[in-house]
Amino acid sequence: MPGWPRLMSIPCAAAYLSRTTGFVEARLRAGDIPFHIKDAEERVIDRLDLDDWIARQPKLTGKLREPVASTEARRAA
């Protein structure tokens, strides 16, 4: 994908995934997304590893849950 670097910092990877840096940090700690060490201290993430992680996520369709009571109350009003 043009415009995105191959090796990304954690904030850049978070922007690529449209998530927070905390989310990316949690995925790194859990071992879900591999990383490399740059200059003996900075963690960087390969964009291809992010693409692979995205591809492994389950695809969902339809409703995720039933409406909650407040939604039902608004519909009834």
Mean pLDDT (whole number) for 2-15: 93
pLDDT beyond 90 at 74: no
Domain boundaries, the chain: 7-76
For 11-50, what is each residue's pLDDT tens digit?
Answer: 999 999 999 999 999 999 999 999 999 888 899 999 999 9
Q: What is the pLDDT of residue 20?
A: 96
Q: Is the pLDDT of residue 1 over 60?
A: no
* Mean pLDDT along residues 1-13: 89
**pLDDT at site 4:** 94
| Strands across the sheet containing 36-38 | 7-8, 42-46, 36-38
